[in-house]
Structure 1
Amino acid sequence: MSQDPKENIAQILLTKSGIKQQAYRNVCTAFKHLKEQSVLLIEELKSKTSERDKDIFLGVEFINDQEFTVRIAGDLLVFVLHTNIITLPADYEFYKSDYVAEQPLRKYLGQINVYNFMADSFEFNRLNDPGYLLARLLINYENYFIVEGDRQVGFMFESISSKPLEKVDLDVMIQLIITQAAENDLMAPPFPQIRNITVREKMEKTQSLGAGNKIGFQMSYQNETKA
């Protein structure tokens, strides 16, 4: 006798729900450690810079359970814990791995995104100023993880880790992210692009006229599909 379709649906939901809940618990634990480590790192940086230059602003602010910010001089890093568990596009390299092929439930991932904004954008309420995605951390129910980012942030980690996430991995990640933000300079818009402005633009954007933008990175699967 074949299985009751409704029982089959219920079993699928129960299995996926348990997997997703464990992935979310893992990503929440990682987010908590990133917050704690950010505070420790900022305090250490303050001790190394305050005597030589008291005008370098460094700080951590807790916005809510899903967001905190790290101020690094003129940069503001925004850490966001997403409450939804996601999967990645089917053409993503992650799906081609033996790891996922062996157990498809490993594809469900919790995520933490790190955005880089100019601190002045918030100080002067420049609502049209862009930020960019500096890095993202993806974690599954087995606590295996992916880190995507620009330069060293992306290079230091494999497409999928060879072992479960440890605190030392997060410590390295937060240091690389802060280093990346500090090293990434502003890029001014081309001269012809800002040659002409309207009175409205002058009135509304006085603080941001001529301001530079920071350049983010594309996810590896986006680069592949656009190639």
Structure 2
Amino acid sequence: MKQDPIESIAEILLTKSSIKQKTYRNVCKAFKQLKKEAKSVIDELRSRTTDRDEDVKLEVESVNDQEFHVHVAGDLIVFVLHTNIITLPADYEYNKSDYVQDQPLRKYMGQINVYNFMADSFEFNRLNDPGYLLARLLINYENHFVVEGDRQIGFMFESVSAKSLEKVDLTVLIKLIIAQAAENDLIAPPFPKIRNITVREKLEKTQSLGAGNKIGFQMSYQNETKA
């Protein structure tokens, strides 16, 4: 009679469960620290800009344990902690790295996603206005991390960290995220595209009324379309 696989299944489940719990604790801790660093950076920016222009909105708003917002002038940067532990596709460089190959349990990651919206989209309830993903922070049970993002964000964090996540890493990440959001200007739709609108579009205050798209979002959309 073949050996009953129940014991081995139970061991796998217990091992995975333990790893995922450690991973989730790490990402929760990072999320709380990320919020603290965001407040610190915003306080510093406020001290440098208030004397010049009091109308520049700089604020960190806590939504709940899994979400907080950073208001930077006309931008709203949304930080979201995902409660599920995930793995990346097998063809990701991270999964093909020696680091993961040596210990496959390192592939389980907690994630924090950072989105950029126009602040007016939320203020005026423009439900069809787009946003785009600025960065994604992924953390495993050893507290090593990967950051995905465009431009400087991607250049600063090109591969899995050689050490555990530290406060200074989150400070650098917050500053890069805010800088990129601030640098991305709005681009208005072409005139022919907004020549005709429907009553529904008018009532919902959609992009068809002529509001701009963030340049970064348009670039991401174009890249996706061409793929």
What SS class does the counterpart of residue 128 from structure 2 fall into? Answer: coil
Kindly indicate whether residue 46 of structure 2 is the aligned counterpart of residue 50 of structure 1: no
In the TM superposition, what is the alpha-carbon distance from 1:98 to its structure 2 partner?
Answer: 0.7
2:44 maps to a residue whose letter is E
Contact 1:134–1:177 (CA<8 Å) still a contact in 2?
yes
In the TM superposition, what is the alpha-carbon distance from 1:17 to its structure 2 partner?
Answer: 0.5
Deviations 1:182-216 (A, max 9, x none): 01111222222212212332233279711111224
Deviations 1:31-80 (A, max 9, x none): 01111111111111111100110110110110000000000000000100
Given the two structures, how large is their TM-score scaled by the length of structure 2? 0.92
In the TM superposition, what is the alpha-carbon distance from 1:2 to its structure 2 partner?
Answer: 6.1
Which residue pairs with 1:182 in the alignment?
A: 182
Contact 1:112–1:136 (CA<8 Å) still a contact in 2?
yes
Q: 2:77 and 2:201 mapped to 1: Cα distance?
A: 27
What SS class does the counterpart of residue 148 from structure 1 fall into? Answer: strand
Task: Trace 1:90-101 onto structure 2 (pairs within 5 A).
Answer: 90-101=90-101
Which residue pairs with 1:116 in the alignment?
A: 116
Residue identity (%)? 75
Q: 1:207 and 1:187 mapped to 2: Cα distance?
A: 11
1:187 maps to a residue whose letter is I
2:62 maps to a residue whose letter is F
Alignment gaps of 5+ in structure 1: none
Q: 2:118 and 2:163 mapped to 1: Cα distance?
A: 35
What SS class does the counterpart of residue 115 from structure 1 fall into? Answer: strand
Please report the RMSD computed on the Cα atoms of aligned residues, expressed in angstroms.
Answer: 1.9
1:107 maps to a residue whose letter is K
Q: 2:23 and 2:156 mapped to 1: Cα distance?
A: 23
Q: 1:55 and 1:207 mapped to 2: Cα distance?
A: 25
Q: 1:180 and 1:13 mapped to 2: Cα distance?
A: 41
Given the two structures, how large is their TM-score scaled by the length of structure 1? 0.92
Alignment gaps of 5+ in structure 2: none
Aligned residues: 221
